[in-house]
Structure 1
Amino acid sequence: MLKFCSLIILSVLTYKVYADVKSCTFTDTKAGKTYDFSSLISPAGYYKFSQQIWSVNGFSLDSLVADTQVNVTFYLQVCRNIVIPPTGCTDVGAIYAVTPDGKCQSWGNANVSVFDPNPYQDGVNLKMYHGTAIDHLSNNAGTIYFVCNQDKKNMRADMPTFEHVKAAINQAHFKIFTKLAC
């Protein structure tokens, strides 16, 4: 048993990942890559985009099951919290979703976040935790997938897009295509 535990610990220690969310950099030693997303930090304070999505049971933002469509305005900042939240938003956050009737939810706090390699080896993701409280045990969370796009002429990214919410774990997924993730 001791040999087995030592093997697991050794396996974990050989795969090193260095991440600094504040400087917006991530180094994956296994892949031999260092990513610097600091140029994607919006000088305006956030990226703002609206998207028509499916609303199920009011504000769950699940785009997988059709109930009614609603236009939601998203505010998203990379590696930072939004300093001046949109009107109606009271929680600290790096990602907000605001419905036309003014309901606001935070999908994660940049101060409680971590970089990870994308599972499909096509970039990096930034996972943020501690968004709006759902109940006394759980909070919303958000993941921004930085996906490699070799076709980009410059290093800037495409506008972020909302993908969906994994309702079972209260996690919203967003995607940004950029050459910086290659």
Structure 2
Amino acid sequence: RTLWRCQLLVVYSLPLAAYFIYKNRNSLDTKKIFTKETCLEFLAHACLWSYTTTMFVWSSDFTLVSHTGLLGNLSGVCIVTWNLLRKVPVHYLEIYGTIVVVISAIVFMNDSTSTKTNGQTNIFLGDIIGLSSSPTFAIYFIVSARLLKKLPAMVVLEVSFAIQLVLYFVFTISIMDTEKFYSFDPQFGILGWASNTYLMHSLLF
């Protein structure tokens, strides 16, 4: 499903990326764009997002979706904590907000009434996997901020989606049966999103 989504994002984002390149053609500094540093930032951007989303999905296989949603979105806490460790000035409201989030998360995680209704259950493992995506999510935002200083947002996303597509393709083809992969199979095919089962859903949503 992640590979399908990435394919569609590349296609849907391309016209917008082309429009913003044309619109900002006179202000784009190609000397800053076509550099080794920018290429490495794009690669890091794509890898970080790929890892984050993969861990998010994998976590939900073991633990409650609510746990995954909470633990996978603590990037703000990671950024504030890191800035405090580096002794970078942090607004007092950010500190209070971080404390509130951490306390709320602890209380929320101690809820023993919720149960996982399907799939294999290993709450602790799933929580650890979900939590591991938060630091990379935080770094993703930092890299995004650097890239957005050089290029329009849609261009950054389009290039990142294209790199992610290559990464997902290589990973998926290395673990799957190639006969099923190169098909419209609604479960395993690379073009499964275009099957009768998912076509309308894929195009609309």
TM-score for both structures, normalised by structure 1: 0.22
Q: Comparing both chains, which one has the higher relative contact order based on Cα–Cα distances under 8 Å and sequence gaps of 6 or more?
A: 2
User: Comparing both structures, which one devotes a greater share of its residues to strand?
Assistant: 1
TM-score using structure 2 length: 0.20
Q: Which has the higher helix share?
A: 2
